[in-house]
Chain A
Amino acid sequence: MFPPRQDVLRLMPEIILSLSGILLMLIEPFLSGARRTLIVTLAALGSGLALVSTIYPATLPGTAFSGLLRIDGFSVFVHVVVEAVAFLVIIGSADYLDREKIQHGEYYALVLFATVGMCVMAGAAELMTAFVGLETSSISTYILAGYRRDVPRSNESAMKYFLLGSFATAFFLYGIALLYGATGTTQLARMTFPTTPGRERLLDLGLGLMLVGLAFKIAAAPFQLWTPDVYEGAPTPVTALMASGPKAAAFALLLRILATVGAAGTFWFWALWVSAALTMFVGNLAAIAQSNVKRMLAYSSISHAGYILVALAAAAASDQVELGVAAVLYYLAVYALMKLGAFIFVSQLGGESERHMEIDDFRGLAVRQPVAAACFALFLLSLLGLPVTSGFLGKFYIFNAALASRLIWLAVLLAINTVIAAFYYLRVIVVMYMRQPNQTWPPAPMPWAVTFVLSIAAAGTFYLGLFPGRVMALATQAALSLPGR
C-alpha cells in the first residue's frame, strides 16, 4: 500500500522544493526588520539542495507512484535545467525586489512551487499528473507576473497571462479527455493506436488540442500573441524565469508525448513544421521594430521557441527521435542560461521601477560599465548564435537534426532567420560600444548577487560553446532513455 522507499527518493528534488517553499511561507509572517538575508538564503538553499538531490533520481531510474512518473535520464536532464534556473533566478531577484520594495518570502515560495510544477511536468508519464504539474507551474507564474501590484503594467501582464493561459490549459485538458475517450487510459505508454474506427480521429483531435495548449505555453506562433505584453509587464527577474523554466518544462512534456505516443509524431509533424517556420519569422521580424530592450528580448524568445520547434519537427519526422530530442535538450540548457543572463542583466540595468529599458538608455555602456557591457554583449552574441558561444553549437545541433531528418527547407528558413536576428542583436551592441554616453543618471552598480548569476550564466555560455562533449553526451543519453515508439 505504501509506495516503496525508492519512489520517495526519486522525488527528492520535488520534496525539497515543496518543503522549502512551505517553510518560507510559514516564517514570512513572523519576520520583521532584517529579513532579506534569511529569506534569500533559505530560498537559495532550498533550490540548491534540490539541484544537488537530483542525484537520487539520476541514480534510481524507473517509474514511481504506480507509473504516474517516469524517472529517466530525460527527466533528470530537464530537472537539472529548471532547478538551476530557479536557483539563479532566486539569487538574481534579491536586489531587484529590494529596489522595488517587494522583498517578501511569498515571492520565493512561489518560485519554488513553480519549479515543483516544472519538475513534475518533466517526469510525468501520465496525463493527469502532467496536468496538475502544468497548473502548479502556470498558476505560480501568473501570480509572479503580477507581483508588482501597484504597477498597472504588471497587473495587465498578470491578467493577460492568466486569461489566455487558462484558455490554453482548458484546451490541454479537453485534449486529455478526448485521448482518454479514444484509448481508455491516461498513461502515455499505454496509448496505443485504437483499432475501432472513429476512435482514431478522436485520438488525433485530442492530440491536436493538447498541442494547442502546450504551443501556448512555449509561445509558438500562432499562439504567441500574449508573450510581448506579459514579458514586458512582469517584473524582469520573473520574465527571466518565465522565458527559461516553464518553457523548458513544456517542451519536455511535448517531447515525452511525441516520443511515447506513436500517433503523435505523424499527426503533429506538419503542425510543428508550420509553427516552427511561423514562430521564427514572427519573433524575429517583430523584434526588429522594438525600441524597448525587454520587449525585444521577449520577441527574441519567441523566435528561439521557433528554433527549438525545428528540432521537434525533426524528431517527429524520423523514426529515430534521438537526434532531434538531444538537440532540443541541448538547446534548452543553452537557451535557459543565455536568456536568463540577458534578462537578469536588464533587470539590474533598468534601475528603479524599470525606468531605463529603451535601447537608447544603453548608449555607451561600454564606456560607463565595460565589464557589464561585455557580459551583455556575450549573451546577445550567443542568442544570435556566433561561434565560440553556446548559441552557435545549439543551433548547429538543431541544424544537424533537421538535415538528418531531411527537413532541408526548415533548415534554410532557420539560416535565413539567424541573419534577420543579427540585425537587432547587433544594433544593441553597436549602441553600447559605438555611441557616446549621454545619460544623466549614474551607472547602475552590479551587486555581488547579480554579478554571481551573470558570471555563472556567462561561464556556462562559454563552456557549452567550447566543450559541448559532456553535456551533449548527457543529452543523447537522456534522449535514448525515452521509451521508443
Chain B
Amino acid sequence: MSGNLAQAYAPLLIHLLVALGLSAILLILSSLIGQHRPTREKMQPYECGITPVGDAREPFDVKFYLVAMVFILFDVEAVFLYPWAYVFRELRWFGFTEMLLYILILLAGYVYLWKKGALDWNPSKTQRDRQT
C-alpha cells in the first residue's frame, strides 16, 4: 500500500481494532465479574416483552425473498453508477448515452415488476384477478 492510501485508511483500521477490542473486553469482563443466576424466564427469547408464543423459527412468506431479490438487482445497478459518476465528465455524451440506455433497459424491468404486483405487499383484487 502506498503511503497516501495507507494514511487514508489508517483511521479505519484503528477504529476497527478499537471496536473489536472494546467489545471483546466488555464481553469477557461481564462474563467474569457478572453474577449468573439463569432462571427459566430469563432464558426465554425476548419478544417485545410479551410471553413468546410458538417456535421462533417459522417458514417465512416467499414475498420476503422476492423483495430481497429485487433489492439486490437494483443494488447492483446502483453500484455501476459510482464508477460512472467518477468519469462522467471525461466520457461526455457517450457516457451519458450508455448509462441512459442501461437505466432504460432496467426501467423496463421495473415497470414489469410494478405491473405484476411484485412491489405490493398485499396485491389488490384486480391484480389477483389478472394473475389467475
Contacts and interface: CB of A to CB of B under 8 A. Distances in A.
Q: Do chains A and B touch in the complex (CB under 8 A)?
A: yes
Interface of A: 1-2, 18, 22, 25-26, 28-30, 32
B108 interface: yes
Contacts of B115: 29-30
A28 B112 contact: yes
Given A29-B116, A30-B115, A22 B105 contact: yes
Interface string B86-124: 000001111001000000010011011001100000000
Count chain A CB atoms within 10 A of each CB in B105, B111, B112, B116 and give the residue with the most. Answer: B112
Nearest to A30: B115
B125 interface: no
Contact of B112 (A1, A2, A25, A32): A25
A28 B112 CA distance: 8
B130 interface: yes
B23 to A, nearest CB: 35
Nearest to A109: B112
A19 to B, nearest CB: 10
B108 A1 contact: no
**A-B interface, 9 closest residue pairs, ranked by CB to CB distance from nearest:** A29-B115, A1-B94, A22-B108, A29-B116, A25-B112, A2-B94, A26-B108, A32-B130, A26-B112
Contacts of B92: 1
Nearest to B94: A1
Nearest to B98: A2
Nearest to B97: A2
A5 to B, nearest CB: 14
Given A1-B92, A32-B130, 20 more contacts: A1-B91, A1-B93, A1-B94, A2-B94, A2-B97, A18-B105, A22-B105, A22-B108, A25-B109, A25-B112, A26-B108, A26-B111, A26-B112, A28-B112, A28-B116, A29-B112, A29-B115, A29-B116, A29-B130, A30-B115
A209 B96 CA distance: 38
A449 B118 CA distance: 33
Contacts of A1: 91-94
A4 to B, nearest CB: 12
A119 to B, nearest CB: 17
Contacts of B130: 29, 32
24 contacts: A1-B91, A1-B92, A1-B93, A1-B94, A2-B93, A2-B94, A2-B97, A18-B105, A22-B105, A22-B108, A25-B108, A25-B109, A25-B112, A26-B108, A26-B111, A26-B112, A28-B112, A28-B116, A29-B112, A29-B115, A29-B116, A29-B130, A30-B115, A32-B130
Contacts of A25: 108-109, 112
B131 to A, nearest CB: 9
A347 B67 CA distance: 35
A18 B101 CA distance: 12
A26 B112 CA distance: 6
Nearest to B113: A29
Count chain B CB atoms within 10 A of each CB in A1, A22, A29, A32 and give the residue with the most. Answer: A29
Nearest to A29: B115
Nearest to B117: A29
Contacts of A2: 93-94, 97
A26 B106 CA distance: 11
Nearest to B129: A32
Contacts of B108: 22, 25-26
A28 B114 CA distance: 12
Nearest to B108: A22
Contacts of B91: 1
Nearest to B127: A29
A344 to B, nearest CB: 29
Contacts of A28: 112, 116
Contacts of A18: 105
A32 B115 CA distance: 13
A31 to B, nearest CB: 9
Interface string B25-65: 00000000000000000000000000000000000000000
Contacts of A29: 112, 115-116, 130
A404 B92 CA distance: 55
A29 B118 CA distance: 11
A22 B108 CA distance: 7
A206 to B, nearest CB: 26
Count chain B CB atoms within 10 A of each CB in A1, A30, A32 and give the residue with the most. Answer: A1
B74 to A, nearest CB: 16
A150 to B, nearest CB: 14
A28 B113 CA distance: 11
Interface string B5-26: 0000000000000000000000
A32 B109 CA distance: 19
B123 to A, nearest CB: 12
Nearest to A105: B112
B7 to A, nearest CB: 30
A26 B108 CA distance: 6
A28 B94 CA distance: 32
A30 B111 CA distance: 11
A134 to B, nearest CB: 18
B27 to A, nearest CB: 37
A193 B5 CA distance: 35
